[in-house]
Amino acid sequence: MSDTRRMLLDFETDEVGRKARDDPKVRKSLIKALSDTSDIVRQRALIATIELGDPTIVKDIVKSLKDEDDEVRVAAAESLAYYRQPSTIPYLLEGLKDSNTWVRSHCANGLSKLIGGPIWARLKEEDVDTILADFPEMDEEQIRQFMIDLKVRENELDKFMHWRRKNFEIDIDPSIIEELETKPLILEGADISAPVKPTSASGISTEVEEILAELPDDIRSTLPEEDLRRLTPSTARELVDSLLASFVKKEEEKPKKKKKVRVKKVQRSKKKKGPTKEEMLEKIPEEIRTQIPPDVLDDLTVEDLEALISADSDGAKLLPDIKDDETIVKPSKPKKHKKMADARFQTLTDKYGEEKAEILLSIPEDMLAGIPDDQIEEMDIDSLRDLADALAPR
């Protein structure tokens, strides 16, 4: 394993970048690491290119914007944004369409340093495609108007048109490094003489932390700390607004679930304990009890006894003539009308069976329509009767 690769794995990226400045062999190893088989090595090699301080490296970095690993593309975009080279404009524009938020953010940051005015992160994809396609079927005046509509400032537009005529193949000016090394990138546009603003334990300014606090925790946790430390209040505000807008849009696009009507299972009330069979036998009118043999009385059900108790002096007619050697014929319950000709009854019978269909017929049709089929199928007969009682018209 080469020393350069080992150092990158040990996260000694700054040291690799400094060595690559003075040692051509280390520089060559660093460029080779940009295409290493390890995602981690490729990512850290790109971070090291920032410490290298050589704008000519951008021609090797741009290839990494097509890497399959998100973190590698983020590091490539960050490095390109640092070097501010006109030749990278087409690549930064392409990066605005990347699926990763941080890639888009760094590319937008790089473009804003090269062409001031527009909020590049919010540019419509069709506008990006128009620029990348070199403004098809537009003359120079139309191109200028198109860019002005995107909020490109006049002085910046002249610079852009000049670069475009040269197909962005501008000689790289190494003197840009002197400017970059005189002040941290995070302070660009700020008053350097102003007191240093306090930072949190993570090294992020408290003002930036306050802005980032607007993000939901699940989004905030996905943002790399090393990138957050480079944010200014203005770039933090732009990033948070972009992420929140994207978050709200995804929430709105979620299909609304259709509410499922569920009916609470009716709590069955506990029935009071009734009289014993012996007590009920005592209540049978004497004129009826004397006509029934003792062994037959023993076979009577509670329902039979209730019917006999409620009978008047002619109640004996409820029972047929009984002989000692015959079993009593119990009064038969009147059969329920099945309504076989009723289409609704037939439909309910097909779905839930005849017994449930009889009960469901008592529930108004509009109310029954709101109860899911699977819930009806799960209910036992007693529960279904309770439900029918609860929904019955008063």
Q: Give percent above pLDDT 70 in the chain.
A: 67
Q: Average pLDDT of 374-378?
A: 79
The whole-angstrom separation of Cα 244 and Cα 26 is 42
The helix/strand/coil state of 234 is: helix
Burial of 295 (0-12, 13-18, 19+ CB in 10 A): exposed
Q: Select the more confidently predicted residue: 250 or 115.
A: 115
Complete domains list, the chain, with CATH:
53-182 (1.25.10.10), 185-191+203-252 (no CATH), 263-334 (no CATH), 343-391 (no CATH)
The helix/strand/coil state of 312 is: coil
Q: Is the dihedral of CA 53, 56, 58, 63 positive or negative?
A: negative
- List CB contacts of 172: < 8 A, sequence separation 6 or more: 55, 56, 58, 85, 87
pTM for this prediction: 0.48
The band of 192, judged by pLDDT with boundaries at 50, 70 and 90, is very low
Closest residue by Cα to residue 185 from 177, 193, 194:
177
DSSP string, 326-346: S---PPPPPPPP--TT-HHHH
Q: Give residue 141's pLDDT.
A: 93
- Helices (H), ranges, 67-186: 70-83, 89-95, 101-114, 125-132, 140-149, 154-165, 176-182
Q: Give residue 223's pLDDT.
A: 74
Cβ(48)–Cβ(20) under 8 Å? yes
Mind listing the pLDDT tens digit for each residue in 209-230? 889 888 887 777 767 665 677 6
Cβ(362)–Cβ(337) under 8 Å? no
Q: Give residue 144's pLDDT.
A: 93
Most confident residue range from 181-185, 345-349, 361-365: 345-349
* Residue 66 in tokens: 């097509």
Say whether pLDDT at 261 is over 70: no
The Cα-based distances of 321 to 126, 249, 291, 315 in angstroms read 98, 84, 9, 13
Give me the phi and psi of 246, to 5 degrees please: -65, -40
Mind listing the pLDDT tens digit for each residue in 295-352? 666 767 766 677 666 654 444 444 444 444 444 444 444 444 444 446 878 888 888 8
The Cα-based distances of 332 to 196, 295, 347 in angstroms read 99, 20, 29
- List CB contacts of 233: < 8 A, sequence separation 6 or more: 205, 207, 208, 211
Give me the phi and psi of 353, to 5 degrees please: 100, 160
Say whether pLDDT at 63 is over 70: yes
Mind listing the pLDDT tens digit for each residue in 79-93? 999 999 999 999 999
Burial of 324 (0-12, 13-18, 19+ CB in 10 A): exposed
What are the percentages of helix, strand and coil residues in the chain, rounded to 5? 60, 0, 40
